[in-house]
Structure 1
């Protein structure tokens, strides 16, 4: 979402400077929002490969070096650290209903993935999930099917070297999935029976677990 918002902010502030091949949208166009929606969707295949001119690296897969979840209380109370986490299938994004408010400097959008979002990487976890303790250190894979999201990006206007830009100030992001499938290797110091049972438990209770972690 940060990536898409960054590109859109460039598009709004610099509509005449887009590279060849990108749809040009005029703010005076009564169908401006529809034009921006089409421009972003047609640009997704190029965006995921990276656009050096915008300082945007390739993002499918997107590598996140470290990510931490520290849920200290409630039914799901865990500390979970990820290393070298890859997010796959970002390139299947379908951007819908882009709405640009030039006065408020905000952009709203909906995002659907036509393929499951897959997160793969090394994890380390300790804590409690619902009624069961959990502990592990190994490879993991999280598959989120039916991924749909709504995002609102707020910007502030900045001027640099005589040029005006929108700088991302805040993002509100909400998502839903139809299913979450979890595979965590080497749970409980490699105890296969305990690990298999925990994976079954996690997948049977994924709605409650995901709800607690949001």
Structure 2
């Protein structure tokens, strides 16, 4: 990503947080200029959709990685009755997400987003042991998970940081409430060390009860992936100080 687009990204990202900022981006006609007033949720939603694709882009100069496809070397789920690890996982689908609503609270420094995603595909290796709601499950091998529409409700907590006498904004914490809106297909190879009857029973249960299973297992996966997206976002936000786009 060019330094010009990088700068535009940073300015738009923080415009999302500070509605009073006036940003001059007329030199880049690919980006629409929005000057959001306080409590103008429709405006901030438009801005969120402008900047979101940029968050997913790599930039070696600042250490930002490609987010779609995303690579995760390990994702761990430590649930009450189920333990699992996903290895060398590739995730696609973040490019198909759209922010349907965004609400910023300047006093509390929080940002709430309602995001609709067209679907995700995860492929890699797994290791699992415990109970999948009502059934025992154990195994390791190749896996894939294919979803359709998903709704993500995101709560972001922001913070101010100072470096070399300059002030920057960052995302401090993120919470997500994911909801599968359409069937999810689970395919885990070599369950029970290849015992087909046991494996077929678990996979049949998982795919017939896709929403209950998704609600049970999905949070550790989404949190791992979204934390990586936030890290990318913060790397861009650190490139432009507040006094460069907020009137002093």
Alignment TM class, shorter chain as reference: 0.7 to 0.9
Indicate which of 147, 153, 172 corresponds to 1:169: 172
Deviations 1:65-84 (A, max 9, x none): 11111123xxxx21101111
Counterpart in 1 of 2:100?
96
Please report the RMSD computed on the Cα atoms of aligned residues, expressed in angstroms: 2.9
Indicate which of 110, 116, 131 corresponds to 1:112: 116
What is the TM-score of this pair, normalised by structure 2? 0.70
Counterpart in 2 of 1:8?
13
Where 2:116 maps in the other structure, the secondary structure is: strand
Counterpart in 2 of 1:202?
206
1:1-214 superposed matches below 5 A: 8-9=13-14, 12=17, 16=23, 20=28, 21-26=30-35, 29=37, 32-52=40-60, 55-72=63-80, 77-113=81-117, 115-178=118-181, 179-213=183-217, 214=219
How far residue 53 of structure 1 moved from its aligned partner, in angstroms, is 6.2
How far residue 155 of structure 1 moved from its aligned partner, in angstroms, is 1.0
The structure in which a higher percent of residues are helix is 2
The unaligned stretches of length 5 or more in structure 2 are 1-8, 220-248
Relative to 1, partners in 2 of residues 1:41 and 1:152: Cα closer, same or farther, differing over 3 Å?
Answer: same
The structure in which a higher percent of residues are strand is 1
How far residue 51 of structure 1 moved from its aligned partner, in angstroms, is 4.4
What is the TM-score of this pair, normalised by structure 1? 0.80
Paired residues in the alignment total 203
How far residue 55 of structure 1 moved from its aligned partner, in angstroms, is 4.2
How far residue 17 of structure 1 moved from its aligned partner, in angstroms, is 8.2
